[in-house]
Amino acid sequence: MVQHDYGKLTINVIRFLINYVVRFVFASITLYCSWMPLQDLTDWFSYHVIFCTIGLMPLTAEALMLFAGDELWSKQLSRTEKYGVHGVLATIGILCLIVGNLPGIYYIKPGFPLYTVHGITGLVSMVILTLSIFLGLSVNYSQEMKNFCSLKPVCYKLIHNVTGLTGYAVGIASLCYAYYTDWFILYNGDISRMTALIVTILASLWSVNKALVSLYGQIKSVIF
């Protein structure tokens, strides 16, 4: 029994350490992407890079990691409080994405986001994540929604989670493509961009691991 508890404690400690390594990676990527734009805030494109990176990395990622069972700070919150913090982080993150995309849409060149894979995936991510906010409200008010739709509460959670995870994944893909745009190539070397790509993918995969477990459980509840 003691050995079993010791093994469980060891796993929790390892996960706790990885969680904060991942947060350090997100902070580093945010600084890496924003450092050059911060040097010239007179350029509208600087705001695109800064706001989109902040909206995706620290905020949306933290909103997903919030429900991990091994999170010490979130364990102090009730489930209702977690939902509230999750909603606030996700909403602020999406607002940052919207603000960050405005320069690309209106100030640089009409239709600019549709000219590159980075732009297309970024725009799609913003739309999907915005939709996930409204779907999140349906989860919170699932009882009231019975007057309009007969879906079970777990179905609302499933749809919200699928939408949120999809939007986040597409957003991460957009960021990865950004590392190979002309702007990034101009200011950053090959090694730094490759390193940023690898750690972004690894950290992002870790940030959704608990959300994927939860999603699997919801799918089982809906099907069976």
Which parts of the chain sit beneath pLDDT 70? Answer: 1-6, 69-74, 103-114, 141-151, 224
Minimal CA–CA distance to 171: which of 105, 100, 122?
122
Could you give the number of structural domains in the chain?
A: 1
Residue 2: its pLDDT value, please? 47
Our CA angle for 176, 182, 188, nearest 5°, is 70
Beta-strand ranges (E) seen in 27-173 are none
Contacts of residue 19, Cβ cutoff 8 Å, sequence gap at least 6: 65, 68, 70, 71, 206
Residue ranges making up the domain that contains 79: 2-223
CATH code where residue 175 lies:
1.20.120.1770
Residue 114: its pLDDT value, please? 66
Minimal CA–CA distance to 176: which of 193, 188, 157, 159?
193
Please give the model's pTM, rounded to 2 decimal places.
0.89
Residue 173: its pLDDT value, please? 96
